[in-house]
Amino acid sequence: MKVALLLSGGMDSLSLAWWKRPDLAITLNYGQLAAKAEIAASQAICDRLRIPHHVLKIDCRSLGSGDMAGSSADGLAPASDWWPYRNQMLVTLAAMKAISFGVTHLWLGTVKSDGFHRDGTPEFMSAISQLMSLQEGGLLVEAPAIGFTTAELIRISDIPSDSLAWAHSCHKADVPCGNCRGCNKYFEVFEEVGYELDRLR
């Protein structure tokens, strides 16, 4: 078994990296506005854990919508950060690289609250894993933390506060905007788990 983690640089994937220690990590710059900060956060945790880190750049912004693409969300959007078929795209692109390293399992940092979007549900994870496993390589897609909230994952992972503080959750920029769904989640979770934000700044 060889595991690659799709590492976004957010709280969930950083905590999963700390908890499960994958064999390697893959971060994608697919044209999202916060790509630079996401890559920096991902590199920081990989350096600390001595996990090989691979960054892929494929510009898909022209196909995106919502906060992460710097445009209005599509009319079907359940939230302002909706990017159509994003997780399906990320899994496919990461798997295309992972298979060259002999990876058998691709992990996503999906948590319980991601079920707000259909591509964050257990049903989606099961379907995308089955689809990938039918193809050459037989790669399996898993979300080890899908049964946990972000706060529960942080506690289980026992990630130190100084490493968690590297996380970048803003959907709109490399510097946190403070008013998107990603930033709101970041501050709410830090408060819930009891970390002192002033001490970390």
pLDDT in tens, 4-42: 999 999 999 999 999 999 999 999 999 999 999 999 999
Q: How do beta strands 3-6 and 140-142 pair? A: unpaired
Task: Go through 45-73 and write b for each residue having 16 or more CB atoms within 10 A of its CB, e for each that does not.
Answer: bbeeeebebbbeeeebbeebbbbbbeeeb
Instruction: Give all domains of the chain, ordered by start, each with its CATH number.
Output: 3-200 (3.40.50.620)
* pLDDT at position 153 over 90: yes
Query: Rounded to whole angstroms, how far apart are CA atoms 115 and 162?
Result: 28
Question: pTM of the prediction?
Answer: 0.92
**What is the DSSP code (8-state) at residue 196?**
-
State pLDDT tens for residues 83-109: 889 999 999 999 999 999 999 999 999
